[in-house]
Structure 1
Amino acid sequence: MKLLIENWGKFQFVTFFITFTFLVAISLTIGGSGPYHYETRESAKETDQSKSTIFYLEATGLDRLNQMLFVESHFYNDNNFGFERTVEMSIKIWGSNNLKDKTIIPNVYGQVDEVSDKVWKLIQDTTHKRTVTCEKKDNCTRHTIIYEPYIHYQNYFVQIDAETEHDKNGFSEMYINTYFVNRSMAYFELFWRYAFVIIDIIVIAYLVRLFSGIPFRDFTIEQKGIAYLLLLLLFFNNPLWPTILLSHSSFVQVLDAIFSVTFFIGLFGYWWIIFDGLRYVKHSRTFLKTFIPKFIPLFGFWITFLIIFIWTRIHEKNDPQYETINDIPGFVIAHVFFWIFFAISFLGLIYSIIRGFKEIITNHPELKKRFYFFFTNFIIVFILVIVVLIGGFLPKIRNTALEFSATFAIMNVYIILNSLSYLPTRDTLNDLKNSAHTKLEDENNGMSDDSKSEISNDIELSNENITSSESNEKSESNDKSESDDKSESNEKSESNEKSESNEKSESD
């Protein structure tokens, strides 16, 4: 099947990449002017030489659009030396859905207070230790001390009693930050997801209509890969995402993670299979040779990633202060296998690229344009993904609308533009449809001829049966006639003999 890109010149290729860059740039501009992912409320206290410091925090007017609530603690070291301290955090959390008078606070001292107890409900009372490491003249390590994955109450009140094993010499300030998802960010994410879902569905419907009547086996390897990626992209955009806002179930969040992980693993597999498959003749791409060696490490990569995610979610639900940094033994095996499968997949991809360059340039020069186009797209998207991942560690980019829009825009623009670039030429499309139509007519005609032949055979067989039956009847009739004649002859002979005998007797 001849593709459009095989007829492209330099102008068309440059136009394609300019269009890609332009669409991604627009998305990044919109994302850069969008809302922050989290709203933050900060509380700070200067420390003295005592061992204990108590914080009181409030978060009011929340709803399901805020999605989650978590609290971080960090200290500041104002000295010229670094140190390490163990801090014990005693935490109490109250929730309320009927707070009409904001002057009413929870019963933090445990005394009898009927008014407060009717308004506020104690939902968490725990104590955990955290090891704080500080560099000189710098912020100390941050720790998540509260994590509520769902907003069950409109109002929260938190009491934190931070106590060290020694005095706080070295801690000049303590900070407690409360985070919850910005409502504007929830609307922003909802808009972008459904915009891409609608565009994706339109493209899928257009391609289904365009390729109707053409057998899937006649598609090129790029077209087959893009067909699967478009379906994975639909799940990546996740039309079920609003259920995360409406439900308090962990299942919908795990489902969203499965969609995202499956998409990225599928994209990685798409790159690997195309680079390796282009250098094979179409009929030599066997399932055992081309696909199984790639599915095994990719499936291991996928399953270990999900294990790590689900492990984290379960622990966060059971322990609001859970941190992976304090659960290293539980992650050792999963992380080891994760990086092993990733290394195998990545090295396999690099090997396929090198072999592809060598064999296609030497043995398949007619595929050079397709290979170079695919490789250029791969390099651009791969670099952009690495930039987004690195940017996710930068405070000004992490958890912002820019990070979200960059990820979704790059993936959607890349796959949708490529799906349109890998369309067949008009003549090729018409030839394929005519060929498929002719083949279908031949099959129908073949079926008609067979039917006629069967009917003719049935008629001949029926005629033979009728003829045979008539012949048998005639034979039986002849036999009966002969038998009757013979019987009459015998009777006549006997009668004559008897008559002659009687005459002779009378004569005597």
Structure 2
Amino acid sequence: MELESSMKMNLYDMSKATLVGLFTIFLCLFSISVIIGAAGPPIFDSYQTTALSQGVDMRYNTSQFNWEIQHLDKLNQMLIFKVALVNGRAAREGINTRLTMKTSLYGSKDGFAFNAIVVDKIESRKIKCSQGNIHCDEVALLHEPFVHYPIYRVDVRFLNAEEEDWIQDAVFIWRVFNHSFTLFELWFRFTFLVLTFVMLVWFSHRLRAYKSSEWSIEQKWMTALLFSLLAYNNPLFPLTILADSWFPEFLDVCFFVTFIALLLLFWLCILDSIRKPATARTYIGFYLPKVALVGTLWLISVVVFTWQELHELDNPTYSTANDIPGFIFFRVVQILLLIGYTFWLIFVAILGVKDRRAFPRLSVRIKYLGILTIFVLAITITGIVLGVVGTIHNNAAQFLSFFSLFNLYIFFLAIVYAPPKNAGGPAHMRLNNMAPVDSDSEEAVGLGAASGRRTHFRDSYTDDEERSGSALTDDDGVGGTPMNRGRISGSGYSSSDENTRAAAGAAVSATPAIAAPATAASPAPAAVFGAQPLAFDPPAKPAASTPTPNLI
């Protein structure tokens, strides 16, 4: 199997200690973000009261509960109203039933004139109470995605409460976004957005000297991922707070889902593509199956969100798990696709590990990508399955940990995949993945002499190194690799080949002589083709007054 050569990357010049140091820095920064998130403000402010404390006995169908919440603004983002019933028979049995409720919601700017938002909306909700737990599970009654008024009032009645003699009381809960968390989120999103823009400019600046056809597969993917990371950080995010429209929220989720889908596609394609030449990466046979799998995941996520968002705008009493027919079906399909993706990724990773012994440059690419990616991939897939990866979070630690995880991951990949700053021109940038493991073997010598490529990671030198001969010695000073011994100021001469040396000497001896006065300083052929091939200096130019020699 023959693999294509790839443009040189920082990864090839980094020692093992440098790579371990980068990974350690990544873990430290990620840990710091988790700590900052854990110490951050709570996401929601909750206000709760009970019906009995307000003088209302909800055990009767005619009882109606009224409650106001005040001093809201745009930074509260959204409004959620829930109820948790109190099980009077909790010590003896659990409860699993449905309760019909009539709900009304009103908004006011001054506290006197209330505008109707929802009027006498009747909904049936599933009630579940565990035995031994006096409070039943919380049930969402209202969800207002935008805060239009500073004052809201809710009216609630249980229409079949008298049939449920286990009801002792009802706990009502208002839940809104915390002001401090909204500012916390805005500042961290802005910070990562600026850092992503700086990283994208830096990475593009490093690649500007080379044609896109010369970029390695990793560098092409990193360009796409950096642009998608800009979308993930969402420069339009403030509009989701300030604008009373579903479209900015829709864009935010589309940006998020697109970034996650592109990241999943990157992991699958990159582990498979760095083992194969470009001719084997066809659109139909190589990319189409992967795009179909990840694209289905993307489509399911976007469709479910769109359906949910439009229902919430049309009906604030809407509840996703209760009111979307087939919602569980979508979740099951999503999990099955993730399982299939995981097995496919493991399969191509095993093939890459199997091939890395034959190709050392392939080995270093897979090792770095694998170690860092396994860490990120495990957290990402676990978060998707558990439903904690999304645009709505349960706490600040969850928000900042996932947000920093994806940003730091792309930043560190961009650093190691960028071309070196002093790499030279494109002619010095090509590395061959076919370099053998054992650089001292006869196969390595033949390959080095034939291809003109080194078997170690460094493949370019400065002009001073080549003139001084330092580029021609290996690390232990014993003559260097076949490529080093044959590379003299860019020429293809190989001092390790005795037959080539003898043939060159014979060719010089057979060259017609030039009649010129012999001097003591004239070098003998042995001085050129002798035992010291490292001391090569450019020949001195003849003086301007030297007469033109005559041919005999």
TM value normalised by structure 1: 0.76
Matches of 2:376 and 2:305, distance apart in 1: 25
2:107 match: secondary structure? strand
Alignment of 1:385-464 (within 5 A): 385-386=380-381, 399-426=394-421, 429-432=423-426
Deviates more, 1:263-272 or 1:207-216: 207-216
Q: Deviations over 1:245-292 (max 9, x none)?
A: 221111111111100000000000010011111111344333333212
In structure 2, the CA distance between the partners of 1:360 and 1:285, relative to structure 1 (3 Å rule), is farther
DSSP-derived class of the 2:66 partner = strand
SS at match of 1:223: helix
* 2:86 aligned partner, one-letter code: Y
Q: Percent identity?
A: 27
Q: Is the 8 A contact 1:388 1:403 kept in 2?
A: no
Alpha-carbon distance between aligned partners in 1 of 2:428 and 2:16, rounded to the nearest angstrom: 32
Q: Distance in 2 between matches of 1:335 and 1:391?
A: 10
| DSSP 3-state at the match of 2:229 | helix
Between stretches 244-253 and 283-292, larger displacement belongs to 283-292
Match of 1:409, as an amino acid? S
Q: Does 1:61 align with 2:55?
A: no
Q: Residue by residue, what CA displacement relative to the aligned partner does 1:339-380 show, whole Å, maximum 9, x if unpaired?
A: 45434433322221122222333x423311111110001111
Report the CA distance between 1:330 and its aligned residue.
4.0
Match status 1:96 vs 2:96: no
In 2, Cα distance between equivalents of 1:195 and 1:73: 38
Q: Does residue 1:2 correspond to 2:8, yes or no?
A: yes
Contact 2:99 2:124 (8 Å CA) reproduced:
yes
| Structure 1 match to 2:23 | 17
Q: How do residues 369-388 of structure 1 correspond to structure 2 at under 5 angstroms? A: 369-386=364-381
Q: Is the 1:279–1:364 Cα contact (8 Å) retained in structure 2?
A: no
Q: Identify the structure with bigger relative contact order (alpha carbons < 8 Å, sequence gap 6+).
A: 1
Partners of 1:334 and 1:94 lie apart in 2 by: 34
In structure 2, what residue type is equivalent to 1:129?
A: S
Contact 1:236–1:263 (CA under 8 A) maintained in structure 2: yes
Tell me what 1:122 maps to.
116
Deviation per CA, 1:107-144, whole angstroms, max 9, x where unpaired?
Answer: xxxxxxxxx5xx22222111212121222122323211
Question: Partner of 1:430: helix, strand, or coil?
Answer: coil
The equivalent residue for 2:81 is 71
State how 1:203-352 maps to structure 2 within 5 Å: 203-327=199-323, 329-331=325-327, 334-335=330-331, 337-352=333-348
Cα distance change on mapping 1:152 and 1:433 into 2, 3 Å: farther
Identify the range of structure 1 (276-285 vs 224-233) with the bigger mean alpha-carbon deviation: 276-285
Change (3 A) 1:44 1:282: same
- Indicate the residue corresponding to 2:456 in structure 1: none
C-alpha deviation, 1:310, in angstroms: 0.6
User: Structure 1 166/13 Cα, relative in aligned 2: closer, same or farther at 3 Å?
Assistant: same
Asked if 1:31 corresponds to 2:25, the answer is no
Highest Rg: 1 or 2? 1
Alpha-carbon spacing, 1:338–1:29, altered in 2? closer, same or farther (3 Å): closer
Candidates 350, 362, 371, aligned match of 1:367: 362
Give the Cα separation in 2 of the matches to 1:331 and 1:10.
48
Whether the aligned pair in 1 keeps the contact of 2:335 and 2:385 (CA below 8 Å) is: no
- 1:148-192 superposed Cα distances (whole Å, 9 cap, x missing partner): 111111111111122435444323331111111112111111101
- Structure-2 separation of matches of 1:435 and 1:358: 26
Whether the 8 Å CA contact 2:161–2:167 is kept in 1: the answer is no
3-state SS of paired residue (2:36): helix
Instruction: Letter of the 2:319 partner, please give it.
Output: E
1:43/1:197 Cα in 2 relative to 1: closer, same or farther (>3 Å)?
A: same
Q: Deviations over 1:438-463 (max 9, x none)?
A: xxxxxxxxxxxxxxxxxxxxxxxxxx
Deviations 1:476-496 (A, max 9, x none): xxxxxxxxxxxxxxxxxxxxx
Residue of 177, 180, 185 corresponding to 1:181: 177
Aligned to 1:162: 158
The verdict on how the C-alpha distance between 1:402 and 1:52 changes in structure 2, with shifts beyond 3 A counting, is: farther
Sort the Cα spacing of 1:23 and 1:424 in 2 relative to 1 into closer, same or farther, 3 A. Answer: same
In the alignment, what sits opposite 2:516?
none
Judging changes above 3 Å, is the alpha-carbon distance between structure 1 residues 265 and 391 closer, same or farther for their aligned structure 2 residues? closer
CA 1:21–1:232 in structure 2 vs 1: closer, same or farther (change >3 Å)?
A: same
Change in CA separation of 1:3 and 1:210 when aligned onto 2, cut-off 3 Å: closer
- Supply the AA of the counterpart residue of 2:182: A
Greater Cα offset, 258-267 or 121-130: 121-130
Contact 2:49–2:171 under 8 Å retained in 1: yes
Gaps of 5+ in 2: 1-6, 431-552
Aligned partners of 1:43 and 1:300: how far apart in 2? 44
Q: Secondary structure at the match of 1:62?
A: coil
Change (3 A) 1:48 1:177: closer
Q: TM-score, normalised by structure 2?
A: 0.70
Given that 2:300 and 2:330 are in contact with CA atoms closer than 8 Å, whether structure 1 keeps it comes out as yes
Higher helix share: 1
Indicate if the aligned counterparts of 1:86 and 1:165 stay in contact, CA closer than 8 A: no
> 1:122-141, aligned counterparts within 5 Å?
122-125=116-119, 126-138=121-133, 139-141=135-137
In the TM superposition, 1:188-203 aligns within 5 A as 188-203=184-199
| Unpaired runs of at least 5, structure 1 | 100-115, 437-508
**Aligned Cα root-mean-square deviation (Å):** 2.5
Give distance in 2, aligned partners of 1:299 and 1:213.
34
Distance 1:338 1:204 in 2: 32
